[in-house]
Amino acid sequence: MSEIKYKRVMLKISGEALAGDQKHGLNTETVNKISDKIKELHDLGVEIAIVVGGGNFWRGRSGKGMDRTTADHMGMLATVINALGLQDSLEYRGIPTRVQTAIEMRQIAEPYIRRKAVRHLEKGRIVIFACGTGNPYFSTDTAAALRAAEIDAEVILLAKNVDGVYDSDPNINPNAVKFDKLSFLDVLNKELGVMDSTAASLCKDNNIPIIVFGLNDPDNIIRIVKGENIGTSIR
């Protein structure tokens, strides 16, 4: 146990990270690779809560001309597909998991109940939170911040397709500079776009550190939990 820096973590996996190169939908091979690393983390004795995004299927803002609330409901449903896909992959690896949804769908998953979620974590089950916060106009990054605060997670591990936060888009600007450390005020004032301002404010107000890292090398999850400085740390 001594080799781990964090005992309880919130892992935020965006929908895009589950889509692999196809950029849309669920890529089974990608999901399985991520599950292998989550299993390693679980084997180290880390309590793991996961919030999954849904952008690989649908984002509220993609619904141009649509009623925003309806479009956001569709986005929240997309997160359930990802949650079930990830659950299946983790359970195939012998890890007990529970999916809890912020919008009730009892035939499919448990409704979100904080005390139950914490109990699952204490018993070594991985809890996957779906449907974001359950409210339109929010993001799954905000859901990760909210649930992290509720379950007393020590850190949010924000898995992205880039290896940290840059001063400009590294895919466009070859001279983009990566930050090793940032404050939440920097993120808010410089509008760095790494997460929405609601999520950043919630983490700032509740002192929840975030580590932004690239999931292209899934080993990064393990390195961070063992205390290596990878990606960008925001606090």
* Chain residues that interact with ligand UDP, rule: CB under 6 A: 14-16, 53-55, 59-60, 72, 75-76, 78-79, 132-133, 135-136, 138-141, 143
Looking at the Cβ atoms of 6 and 138, the one nearer to ligand UDP is 138
Give helix 197-205 / helix 140-151 axis angle, nearest 10°. 10
Cβ distance 234 to 210 under 8 Å?
A: yes
Looking at the Cβ atoms of 54 and 218, the one nearer to ligand UDP is 54
Asked whether residue 136 is marked as a ligand-binding residue, the answer is: yes
Closest CA to 122 of 98, 155, 90, 158: 98
Rounded CA-CA distance 223/159 in Å is 13
Cβ distance 158 to 200 under 8 Å?
A: no
Position 80, amino acid: V
Cβ distance 213 to 158 under 8 Å?
A: yes
Rounded CA-CA distance 75/80 in Å is 9
Q: Closest distance between ligand UDP and the C-beta of residue 60, in Å?
A: 2
Looking at the Cβ atoms of 42 and 147, the one nearer to ligand UDP is 147
Asked whether residue 101 is marked as a ligand-binding residue, the answer is: no
Looking at the Cβ atoms of 75 and 231, the one nearer to ligand UDP is 75
Q: Closest distance between ligand UDP and the C-beta of residue 142, in Å?
A: 6
Q: Closest distance between ligand UDP and the C-beta of residue 144, in Å?
A: 9
Asked whether residue 53 is marked as a ligand-binding residue, the answer is: no
Cβ distance 190 to 200 under 8 Å?
A: no
Strands (DSSP E) found in the chain:
8-13, 47-52, 97-101, 110-111, 126-130, 155-160, 165-166, 178-179, 181-182, 210-214, 232-234
Asked whether residue 54 is marked as a ligand-binding residue, the answer is: yes
Asked whether residue 132 is marked as a ligand-binding residue, the answer is: no
- Please compute, for residue 90, the number of CA atoms within 13 A of its CA located in the half-sphere on the CB side: 27
Asked whether residue 59 is marked as a ligand-binding residue, the answer is: yes
Q: Closest distance between ligand UDP and the C-beta of residue 129, in Å?
A: 10
Asked whether residue 85 is marked as a ligand-binding residue, the answer is: no
Q: Closest distance between ligand UDP and the C-beta of residue 53, in Å?
A: 2
Looking at the Cβ atoms of 136 and 209, the one nearer to ligand UDP is 136
Other beta carbons within 10 angstroms of residue 223's beta carbon come to 14
Looking at the Cβ atoms of 132 and 231, the one nearer to ligand UDP is 132
Q: Closest distance between ligand UDP and the C-beta of residue 90, in Å?
A: 18
Instruction: Specify the residue for token string 């939908």.
Output: 25
Residue ranges of the annotated binding site for ATP are 12-15, 55, 59, 161, 166, 169
Which residue positions form the known binding site for UMP?
54, 72, 133-140
